[in-house]
A and B are shown apart, each in its own frame.
Chain A
Amino acid sequence: MVITKEEILQWLQEVKDPEIPVLSLIDLGVITDVIIDNDHVTVKMTPTFAGCPAMDYMKKDVEDVLKKNGISKFEVVVSFEKQWNSNMISDDGRKALKEFGLAPPPRHNLYVDLDIIKYANCPNCGSDNTEMKTPFGPTLCRSLHYCNNCKEAFQQFKPL
């Protein structure tokens, strides 16, 4: 059986972020490479935030998917070789976040300042007339905001 990188990436679409179950690890951008050497598969991953407690679960889920698809020789490596930033969330991922009720992170030029953090587009009504309540939220990757238009509180996936 010859496996391809595309096939493996397709399988990994079913692995979701445990805290945002609509978002796959592929769309989140944390799978940074898949290397196939004969029948040995190496999947490279990188954390969103260094202290993310979901990383171990995600790694195990990736291993389970490889096993389930008949891969017996594999290694899942977590490293900072390629560093994650929130621009790496795909367009599909951004759509999924919004439907889940989380504002997707605004794109940036890799220097996140207060102006970028404060901006959020309300996932409920689409208004930009929002204010940031605090840059820290219920998980490391979320900030808390309030929409002045629809008067709803909401969370944003933080730009990083």
Chain B
Amino acid sequence: MTEAIKDLLYKIADDQLIIGHRNSEWTGLGPMLEEDIAFSSMAQDKVGQSLAFYNLLHDLGESDPDTVAFMRNANQFHNCQLVELPIGEYDFSLVRHFLFDHAEMIRFEMLSNSAVEEIAQLARKLVGEIRYHVMHADVWIKQLGVGDTRERLQKALEMALPYALGIFEESKYEQDLISNDIFSGEQALRDTWQSSITTVLTETELQLPDLTTLTPLIGGRYGDHSDHLQPLLDEMSEVFKVDPGADW
């Protein structure tokens, strides 16, 4: 069962570390000061949250968080491909933020009842932080999902959705996690996510395509990534790798 729990923790931690790094790329570039601060704050939250999960992994016998974060190659990361895509234009980053954070908030709400007490405690803590991220995304999706900006957001939505469906790629331990009440599973998460994003999108002029007609872009959970991840990891770990033993 430990391997199943590790697999679950790795995908959450890696999602947060990578989306956190991508969010941080908006620092200094946001379309307005408030958005610059928002993406930077969310970046700091996400990276801090990933540390909490890497600490749980360390307790289960994995290497220390810095080694795990900075010394692995792309094919050892379990994040979904959605989070590793470049920030692109603001419309794409906003839509990704909306699709990802709704899923993440629901995942943590589900994990708040996990049979693994350490995971449940952490999830109960983080769900309040992520609620801020979701509220931020919803405010802007509602504001920009109508009128002149609608078309750009619609295009970004259609581009991002197949990747977003890759969030829910099932683990090879899926049934073990479900039957032991550790996690209710990706399919349950996806169903709740779909109704959650639909509620927001119906307040805009954006159209959610029929998701059953889309082919999810999967593989990330098993180390299969786009060409965008390795350059991100190289940049993120550049300073660390100059002297891995340095005491900061």
Interface residues of A (CB under 8 A from B): 46-47, 49-53, 79-81, 83-85, 110, 112-114, 117, 133-138, 140, 144, 158, 160
Contacts and interface: CB of A to CB of B under 8 A. Distances in A.
Interface stretch (B40-48, B65-73, B211-219): B40-48
B48 A50 contact: yes
Contacts of B49: 50-51
B208 interface: no
Contacts of B126: 50
A103 to B, nearest CB: 17
Nearest to B117: A81
A85 B46 CA distance: 18
B6 interface: no
A49 B45 contact: yes
Interface in B3-54: 34, 37-38, 40-42, 44-49, 51-52
A140 to B, nearest CB: 6
Contacts of B40: 136
Q: Is the interface of A mostly helix, strand, loop or mixed?
A: loop
Contacts of A84: 125
Interface of B: 34, 37-38, 40-42, 44-49, 51-52, 118, 121-122, 124-126, 128-129, 131-132, 135-136
Given A133-B34, A135-B135, A136-B42, A80 B122 contact: yes
A3 B51 CA distance: 35
Contacts, number: 69
Given A51-B46, A80-B121, A136-B136, A160 B128 contact: yes
B52 A80 contact: yes
A133 B124 CA distance: 27
Nearest to B35: A134
B185 to A, nearest CB: 23
Q: Is the interface of B mostly helix, strand, loop or mixed?
A: helix
B37 A137 contact: yes
A50 B34 contact: no
22 contacts: A51-B44, A51-B46, A51-B48, A51-B49, A79-B121, A80-B125, A81-B121, A83-B124, A85-B128, A112-B128, A113-B135, A117-B132, A133-B34, A135-B38, A135-B132, A135-B135, A136-B38, A136-B42, A137-B41, A138-B37, A140-B48, A160-B129
Contacts of B47: 51
Given A133-B34, A134-B34, A50 B125 contact: yes
Contacts of B129: 49-50, 160
A135 B136 contact: yes
Contact of B48 (A46, A52, A110, A136): A52
